Amino acid sequence: MLTKSHKIQWVAHRGDCEFHIENTVQSVQAAIDNGIDNIEIDIQLTKDSLPIVFHDDDLNRMFSINEKVANVSFDSIKNLPLKAKDNRKLHSNTYLIPTLATIVDIVKKSPSTTLFVEVKDVNFQFFTHQHVFKQVMTLLQPIIEQVVIISFSYRFLRLVKNKTTLPIAYVIPSWAHYSQKMLRLLRPEIIFGDIDMLPKNERFEDKKETWVIYEVSNVDQANQLESVGIRCFESFIPSKLKNL
């Protein structure tokens, strides 16, 4: 798991996506194969309450379908190829939405991998926090020692904190959410923050929690963050950047 360290640490944002579509078996496997020890994926429940690996609030960008994930069954979308919206040269011909169970099976074969499981806020428009917790946690049991739960949802993270001993990572929606009250009540081991929200002149060396900054897309950004005491970077292309 990510820790406060002088060593640079990378998180593969939805897997290693340099040559693969995000949140797929291929992007997760690529991160593992390229030596990235920390991988973040996004989880949503389908209409039949199956946790799948998918980021967007709806299916429009990836499938040109104007519908929410929670309004469709997994069977109705499991064989639909995901669409790339750029001109990258991809290393596979077909990309499909994986289930959380499928990713668990992959990570189980790589004991050094930490899986950051981001439970998306959109879930709670359709399901209770307790229901989402049950569905997700049941599938994570085979790799539970390798898991960090991550979310924008303060309420969901409080539920995880109260019911488990898992480390949690809070994605702060804004800098104002980084407060002493939050730190006291939520006690997150890790905080994720958008690179564009960081105040000028803020220093991070003496903060107790580990900070991860996203989206880091080039070496200059990483160097600037390192200069203010941040050592953990989330990127779609982590294996490329770590070798530069």
- How much is the pLDDT for 88? 83
Mean of the pLDDT values across residues 177-187? 97
Taking the C-alpha atoms of residue 116 and residue 169, their distance in angstroms, rounded to an integer, is: 8
Tell me the pLDDT tens digit for each residue of 73-114: 999 999 999 998 787 899 999 999 999 999 999 999 999 999
Q: Where are the alpha helices (DSSP H) in the chain?
A: 25-33, 60-63, 100-108, 129-140, 154-163, 180-186, 219-227, 238-242
Mean pLDDT, the chain, rounded, equals 96
Provide mean pLDDT across the span 184-200: 97
pLDDT at position 109, please? 98
CA distance 15 to 235: 9
List the one residue out of 195, 140, 175 whose CA is nearest residue 13.
195
Q: What is the b/e burial string over 105-139, where b = at least 16 CB atoms within 10 angstroms of the residue's CB?
A: ebbeebeebbbbbbbbbbbbebbebeebbebbbeb
High-pLDDT (> 90) share of the chain, %: 93
Mean pLDDT within 211-221: 97
Q: Please give the pLDDT value at position 85.
A: 76
Residue 135 identity (one-letter amino acid): Q
Length of the chain: 244
Name beta bridge partners: 9.
232
- Which amino acid, 91? H
Q: What is the pLDDT of residue 206?
A: 93
> What is the token pair recorded at 230?
């941040």
Residue 194: pLDDT band with limits 50, 70, 90: very high
Q: Which range is least confidently modeled, 3-7, 182-186, 224-228, 240-244?
A: 3-7
Residues 214 and 202: their CA atoms lie apart, in Å, by 16
- Whether 136 and 51 have beta carbons less than 8 Å apart is answered as yes
Per-residue pLDDT of 135-170, as tens digits, reads: 999 999 999 999 999 999 999 999 999 999 999 999
- pLDDT band at 129; cut points 50, 70, 90: very high
Model pLDDT, residue 5: 81
- Strands 232-235, 210-214: parallel, antiparallel or unpaired by DSSP? parallel
Is residue 4 scored above 90 in pLDDT? no
pLDDT score at 6: 79
**What is the percent of the chain where pLDDT is above 70?**
100
Tell me what pLDDT residue 1 has. 84
Please report the domains of the chain, with CATH numbers, ordered by start residue: 9-242 (3.20.20.190)
